[in-house]
Amino acid sequence: MTDERVSRRAYLATAGTGIAMLAGCSSGGDGAAPEGETATDTPVVTGTPTATPESLSGTLTVATYSSWVEDEGAAGPWLKQTFEERYPDVTVEYVTPDGEVSHYVQRKQQGAPIDADMYVGLNVDQLITADSNLDTDLFDTPQLSNGRNVKDGLRFDPQGRAVPYDTGYISVVFDESEVPRPETFTDLTESEWEDGLLAQNAQTAATGRAFLLWTIKEFGTDGYLDYWRDLQANGVTILDSWTESYSNAYMNGERPMVVSYSTDQVFANRYDYDMTRHQVAALNGQGYANPEGMARFAGSDNSDLAAVFMDFMLTAEAQGEIAVRNVQFPAIPESEAALTEEFQTYAKVPDQPVTFTYDELQGSVEDWVEDWAREIAQ
């Protein structure tokens, strides 16, 4: 998947406009597991990496997506600076390869060395793709003292290799001065919302793929394409990325609705936008949970250092910074993260988080996307 990471993560203020780009996604504020997941689905891998400022040294190479590093106010630079201040003999270097996780899958297939120690920004789709295309694991299972703090409903790797660090909920953002609040999926196919919705291509945008999976969760594998045909008949516009659909089209008033995230009002309040155009609709009372994870590459020469950095990302301070900077919910309970009052006021948690588990997606997700692309995205 050629996933445009800015499509699901940080809101970024662009020069001279204050328009921000969202990147990120998804978890319940009460810590409840999304539908289909239980606390026993994934092992909680914990331990106690022993580290003092004097005991750690070297260069930690962290592979990630570009907006984690490059966006204004992004979490990546803050984490690097803060970690290096705590461990003066450590240098954190970010790399942002084209193809993201696929780059490392290809290197593993070719027998080439993995020139990074860990990956930040892994979702369940990418993990399944890696597992399906490799004979040996791309990632190993770290021992983390803070791993137990992650909310059970966010854990998406049955083997505990990928550890969630934030999450978002796919929702519909709409302009209440132009259209009524859509309460259900069916509403989006009715005449009151005709020619109103902007969505993303499930082949090229993580937001689009998550919305597609949400419709499959709602209508089943036998009914989701019929629903998308109804959306098409009602004038949905499908663009290649979240940036195109939200920052370019929606923010320029081209349509009154867009598939986006339930944290949209955090962004709108930050830049003093009119809240009438930043209302959040939870279709059928739901939101599709789309957690992001971090994982350590198997065979890393700096495995202990990577584990300490991962543990650091799960501290209350770092979780608060990641949530606010990525405009996403923390992976640990909100009550334990150092969240701003603004975030707590404007971030919306759907009544019913839903998602697919690793086991439900394995062997199916690529076929679902291909079938959708063949019939809908042409």
Helix pair 224-233, 365-375: axis angle to 10 deg: 30
CA nearest neighbour of 319 among 343, 293, 291, 338: 338
Residues 309, 232 share a domain = no
Mean pLDDT of 202-229: 95
Residues 178, 155 share a domain = no
pLDDT digit string (tens) for 234-254? 999 999 999 899 999 999 999
pLDDT greater than 90 at residue 80: yes
Q: Is residue 333 part of a domain?
A: yes
DSSP classification of residue 23: B
Contact 165, 313 (CB under 8 A): yes
3-state helix, strand, coil in the chain (%, to 5): 40, 15, 45
Cβ within 8 Å of residue 56, ≥6 positions away: 87, 89, 90, 304, 305, 308
Residues 159, 198 share a domain = no
pLDDT digit string (tens) for 91-144? 999 999 998 999 999 999 999 999 999 999 999 989 998 999 999 999 999 999
CATH code for the domain of 260:
3.40.190.10
Dist CA 131 CA 4 (whole Å): 21
Range of the domain at 127: 5-168+290-339+350-365
Using CA of residue 322, residue 13, residue 277, residue 170, what is the dihedral sign?
Answer: negative
Question: What is the chain's alpha carbon radius of gyration, rounded to the nearest angstrom?
Answer: 20
Q: Is residue 75 part of a domain?
A: yes
pLDDT digit string (tens) for 355-368? 999 999 999 999 99
pLDDT digit string (tens) for 152-194? 889 999 999 999 999 999 999 999 999 999 999 999 999 999 9
Cβ within 8 Å of residue 375, ≥6 positions away: 225, 228, 229
Residues 323, 265 share a domain = no
CA distances 121 to 65, 84, 104, 237, 367, Å, are: 7, 21, 13, 27, 23
* Three-state SS at 128: helix
* Phi, psi angle pair for 146, to nearest 5°: -95, 5
How many domains, the chain? Answer: 2
pLDDT greater than 70 at residue 40: no
Residues 190, 163 share a domain = no
Q: Is residue 372 part of a domain?
A: no
Dist CA 165 CA 151 (whole Å): 10
pLDDT of residue 39: 37
